């Protein structure tokens, strides 16, 4: 896998006010994210509300992303779905668009055995013809694979690495030790400093849409041995994350980006926008953190 950078934003999906996806708004969002020093995009994942969209809608957004950003940064298309057929079909559709890799959550909702999960991943990799990054997010997928089973998956040459969105840094270290030739991206934004200090190939996160420069800064500060700066930047990120957890992570991120002139639109139902109190709290955060001049 061609690796152009270690900080990848888990990209939001722009939507119109009628609830349809808005491929025409992909470019402004991408340009804003990349202006912060972020070097890659991970699209149509959890942050992108992918499980609320049809395969055709996801392909439309991924196509618009490739057309706008191909060659500018690392591009990873999340194609995960509950059905192997649906995931493989989307992987096949994006395989020739210019993405560097595909990614996928394990098949969710029904309780599948490990061999079924492994077959699911093989089908996706074969359909895409691209390196595959497995997506370990047990809190949302309901699939909590053991260290041994994750290592077994990583033995497949078609699997390039892991997007690891969990809090078990011991397991993360054990995986990295067992598979040093694979790529490991940490996906728990509020703990990125800990992962960077213990060793990671980078991060993929939701809040990178708004404050990607903070995570670029944490990574650089850790590399420079400047832990005071790294701690201060993680604190800045966590203050935002604490607000988003109170008022809705994806709705809150979309509110803040719309507020500063990046037109990402609303979330898809059943998600609701932040309350009036949430809007005031997020406005205050924006004003206090360098975005006042962008607020309309």
HEC string of the chain? CCCCCCEEEECCCCECCCCCECHHHHHHHHHHHHHCCCCEEEECCCCCCHHHCCHHHHHHHHHHHHHHHCCCCEEEEECCCCCHHHHHHHHHHHCCCCCCEEEECCCCCCCCCHHHHHHHHHHHHHHHCCCEEEEECHHHHCCCCCHHHHHHHHCCCCEEEEEECCCCHHHHHHHHHHCCCCEEEECCHHHHHHHHHHCCCEEEECCHHHHHHHHHHHHHHHHHCCHHHHHHHHHHHHHHHHHHHHHCHHHHHHHHHHHCCCCCCCCCCCCCCCCHHHHHHHHHHHHHCCCHHHCC
Residue written as tokens 């809705």? Answer: 248
In a domain, 179, yes or no: yes
The whole-number pLDDT of residue 3 equals: 55
Q: Is residue 42 part of a domain?
A: yes
Distance CA 56, CA 60 (A): 6
Distance separating alpha carbons of residues 251 and 35, to the nearest angstrom: 22
Domain membership of residue 60 (yes or no) is: yes
Q: What is the pTM of this model?
A: 0.96
What is the phi-psi region of residue 202: left when phi exceeds 0, alpha when psi lies from -120 to 50, beta otherwise? Answer: left
Is residue 217, in this structure, part of any structural domain at all? Answer: yes
36 within domain boundaries = yes
Q: Going from the first residue of the chain to its last (296 residues), give the mean pLDDT of each consecutive group of 10, the final group possibly shorter.
A: 76 97 98 97 97 97 97 96 97 95 95 95 96 91 88 95 94 95 96 96 97 98 97 98 97 98 97 96 96 88
Of the candidates 3, 72, 110, 163, the residue annotated as catalytic is 163
Number of domains within the chain: 1
Provide the domain limits for residue 92.
Answer: 7-227
CATH code of residue 181: 3.20.20.70
50 touches 58 (CB < 8 A): yes
Asked whether residue 101 is assigned to any structural domain, the reply reads yes
Selected catalytic residue, list 121, 135, 172, 215: 135
Question: What confidence score (pLDDT) does residue 2 get?
Answer: 47
Q: Is 40 contained in some domain?
A: yes
- Is residue 135 part of the annotated active site? The answer reads yes
Q: Is residue 209 in some structural domain?
A: yes
Tokens for 22, please give them. 């808005």
Residue among 13, 6, 4 nearest 206 (CA): 13
Instruction: Determine the pLDDT at residue 212.
Output: 98
């Amino acid at each position: 896998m061609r690796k152009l950078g270690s900080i990848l934003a888990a990209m939001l999906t722009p939507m119109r006010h009628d609830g349809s996806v808005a491929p025409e708004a992909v470019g402004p969002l991408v340009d804003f994210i990349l202006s912060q020093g972020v070097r890659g995009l991970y699209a149509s994942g959890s942050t992108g509300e992918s499980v609320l969209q049809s395969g055709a809608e996801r392909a439309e957004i991924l196509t618009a992303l490739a057309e706008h950003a191909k060659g500018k940064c690392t591009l990873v298309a999340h194609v995960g779905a509950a059905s192997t057929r649906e995931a493989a079909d989307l992987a096949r559709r994006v395989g020739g668009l210019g993405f560097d890799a595909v990614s996928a959550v394990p098949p969710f909702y029904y309780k599948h055995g490990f061999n079924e999960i492994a077959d699911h991943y093989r089908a996706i990799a074969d359909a895409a013809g691209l390196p595959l990054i497995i997506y370990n997010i047990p809190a949302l997928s309901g699939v909590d694979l053991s260290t041994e089973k994750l290592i077994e998956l990583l033995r497949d040459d078609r699997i390039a690495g892991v997007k690891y969105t969990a809090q078990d840094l011991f397991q993360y270290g054990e995986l990295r030790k067992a598979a040093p030739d694979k790529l490991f991206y940490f996906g728990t934004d509020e703990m990125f400093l800990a992962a960077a200090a213990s060793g990671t190939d980078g991060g993929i996160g939701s809040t990178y849409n708004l404050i990607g420069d903070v995570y670029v800064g944490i990574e650089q500060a850790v590399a420079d041995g400047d832990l005071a700066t790294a701690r201060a930047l993680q604190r800045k990120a966590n203050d935002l994350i604490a607000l988003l957890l109170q008022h809705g992570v994806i709705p809150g991120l979309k509110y803040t980006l719309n507020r500063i002139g990046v037109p990402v639109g609303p979330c898809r139902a059943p998600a609701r926008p932040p309350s009036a109190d949430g809007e005031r709290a997020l406005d205050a955060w924006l004003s206090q953190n360098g975005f006042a001049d962008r607020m309309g």
